[in-house]
Amino acid sequence: MSKIIAVVSGGMDSVTMAHHLKEQGNELQLLSVDYGQRHRKEHDYAAEAAERLGAVHQVADLSALGAMFHGSSLTDPSVDVPEQTWNTYGESPNIVPNRNALLLAAAYAIAVVEQAEAVAIGVMAGDVASVPDSTPAFLEAFDAMERIATRGYAHPDLTLLAPLAGMDKSGVVLLGEELGVDWTRTWTCFRGGEIHCGRCASCWERQDAFAGAAVNDPTTYQEKKS
């Protein structure tokens, strides 16, 4: 059994990852990061996941940074959340600069304090096309950097885990089904309304994932993808 600081937003991927790590017998501490995102209600779902899994849940408040991330639809209220997806670096307005690096830096710092043996993040194969700080090269380099940054203070075995990195989102749905994940207690929509909008890129990916896995999607949407 390992002690793991798991970066869990409350979305499908990170909640599934947390269930997977717990099922393997690990001791979890769930970390959510408030970087000023308009859909920060996702953290309520991360807290629920922590309660189900018997884990501690903490929220790192980096919300002041959100005001500096102008141009991203996730943090800038003047930018509309688009209703399409991008598969090329540098094109998507849904990207928050260096987001995974920020999340992981916070997680590693806590891992040092808690003497955890691992930090885990729920990036998937599908993220690589448009999110450069989700690539295997980034994860490998970040882990190498942290080994230097935390030397002598961290647990000697501290490492970075990305257990979903080889899966597409439909694969995550299938894994979550095996683990008994309650999909209605996960949040995806970038707009952060009362219910999932069904039209933003993230909602489209959610609907496509269930369709691709041939699993019933129990999510309530304002408008389903046609």
Domain membership of residue 92 (yes or no) is yes
Domain that holds residue 39: 3-188
Domain membership of residue 216 (yes or no) is no
Domain membership of residue 126 (yes or no) is yes
Residue 96 is predicted with a pLDDT of: 65
Residue 155 is predicted with a pLDDT of: 97
Domain membership of residue 218 (yes or no) is no
Domain membership of residue 138 (yes or no) is yes
Residue 90 is predicted with a pLDDT of: 45
Q: Are strands 118-121 and 159-161 parallel, antiparallel or unpaired?
A: parallel
Total number of domains constituting the chain: 1
User: Which CATH number is 12's domain given?
Assistant: 3.40.50.620
- Residues in the chain with pLDDT < 70? 70-79, 81-96, 128-130, 226
Domain membership of residue 215 (yes or no) is no
Residue 226 is predicted with a pLDDT of: 66
Q: pTM of this prediction?
A: 0.91
Domain membership of residue 50 (yes or no) is yes
Nearest Cα to 166, choosing from 3, 4, 9, 13?
13
Domain membership of residue 171 (yes or no) is yes
